[in-house]
Copies of this chain bind each other. A is one copy, B any other.
């Protein structure tokens, strides 16, 4: 029922319903986290407690959205996999991305305030995230997506570890360290770390090298559109109660996935 002659403006609203029966990955990315990490003086190359804040926020996401089966993140980004039968917000893209960005932001802010009471957030530099949703037709694409992110984590972390050792322990300026690393491949960086700083990169903490994966324990999946309301509620309850594991392991090889066939 129209409440006024102005209500016609609603007709200009558009929705993009994501394709049914297709995996959805929503990735949130910190906005301006380079400056954020400078302002709040993150330890370099990795700030263990800041990562803990990210991971706590991601864990809250999984608790709030039982449709998320796996999450993976490192640095200032996190990817959330929605099972392919998921009907959250009727799969409306704007609703999904805006809601995920909103929740991630407040969960991060809450966890920050808990973790860093001595570093109160400044209103001019609060933690914010954008989000995007991507559709993948097959589970192989999903596997490749998470491999892509974990390779990226590895490449960035090896670079950052070498860069910051050159700066902090090696006394180079940022520009000098950057120049030193141009054209180097992984083995070169491993060698710099080992020969110049006595660091065996393989011994670095797994959380830095592999990132963090969170996975919900087994819950049977169903074609949700066909369930009764009561069945849906029971299923959601099961999902909410399922244990969530936080791991720092390889998700490129088959092992992780073979052990959890219900993710497919």
Contacts and interface: CB of A to CB of B under 8 A. Distances in A.
Interface of A: 3-4, 6-14, 16-17, 19-22, 28, 31, 60, 84, 93-95, 97-107, 109-110, 121, 123, 126-138, 141, 144-145, 147-148, 151-152, 155
B148 A7 contact: yes
A252 B118 CA distance: 48
Nearest to A4: B151
28 contacts: A3-B148, A4-B147, A6-B144, A6-B151, A8-B144, A9-B144, A12-B134, A13-B132, A19-B19, A19-B137, A21-B137, A21-B138, A60-B123, A98-B98, A98-B100, A98-B101, A99-B128, A101-B101, A101-B102, A102-B102, A103-B105, A103-B128, A105-B105, A106-B126, A106-B128, A109-B110, A110-B121, A138-B138
Contacts of A98: 28, 97-98, 100-101, 129-132
Given A12-B19, A123-B110, A152-B3, A99 B101 contact: yes
A208 to B, nearest CB: 18
Contacts of A103: 105, 126, 128
B155 A3 contact: yes
Nearest to A142: B9
B130 A102 contact: yes
B148 A9 contact: yes
Contacts of A127: 106
A136 B103 CA distance: 28
A152 B21 CA distance: 23
A86 to B, nearest CB: 14
